[in-house]
Structure 1
Amino acid sequence: MGFGLVVRFVAHSAEAARAFDRLAEKALEGIRTKEPGTLVYVNHAVPEEPTVRVFYELYADREAFEEHERQPHVQAFLAERAQYLASFDVTFLEEISGKGSSPDQASR
């Protein structure tokens, strides 16, 4: 199905988490319009943990992820995010099996 990752971000405070959300939304504008190889890119809040955000990202392939990383809107996000964060952790994912939204994935 592609190349994926999960990133867990911990902001300095709930206020910093909300500012981080606004920064992420700016990046998402470019991701939605300029990245056909980015299949899923979602910012999640974690119930009962107001300073935590979890991104789930799925790309058509590794090359689509690398293209994503080169985009100006992503570079701006990467440059600015540190001011809001206490920490973050990236986990790269390798598909074993699953079901996707495209018809060719229905049989997997």
Structure 2
Amino acid sequence: MPYGLVVRFTAQDAEAAADFDRLASQTLEGIRTQEPGTLVYVNHIPEDEPNVRVFYELYENRAAFEQHEEQPHVQRFLAEREQFLVSTEVTFLNEVAGKRPAPAQER
């Protein structure tokens, strides 16, 4: 069963938001090349909230999410992100229905 989450990060200021974006971009390179179970990993800026970032993440299943969390590039992101932030809010999601990318084994 696919497993997802939404994470809302609030940066300290515009400079911290830019630094956070650089860290997230570096992390994304590892996700793209080393995590086949990560189906969607997208960083958004909400309208009219320039210091906020909202990540939407979708994994093939809970195990794929757990593997994601163990990756060195993710561990680095988790360790370094706090210096740029004033808050982090995480919502874990269990899929009910919808349109999403097919798991790797179905492609």
Could you say what the CA RMSD is over the residues aligned between the two structures, in angstroms? Answer: 1.2
- Cross-structure match for 1:94: 94
Look up the SS of the partner of 2:4 in the other structure.
strand
Q: List alignment gaps of at least 5 residues for structure 1.
A: 104-108
AA matched with 1:39:
L
Runs of 4+ that moved beyond 4 A:
none
Look up the SS of the partner of 1:49 in the other structure.
coil
User: Matched residues in 1 for 2:14 and 2:86: separation?
Assistant: 12
User: Matched residues in 2 for 1:102 and 1:80: separation?
Assistant: 32
Look up the SS of the partner of 2:98 in the other structure.
coil
**Count of aligned residue pairs for this structure pair:** 103
- Cross-structure match for 1:106: none
Give the TM-score of the pair, scaled to structure 2. 0.92
Deviation at 1:51, TM superposition (A): 0.7
Give the TM-score of the pair, scaled to structure 1. 0.92
User: Matched residues in 2 for 1:47 and 1:14: separation?
Assistant: 15
**Percent of pairs with identical residues:** 68
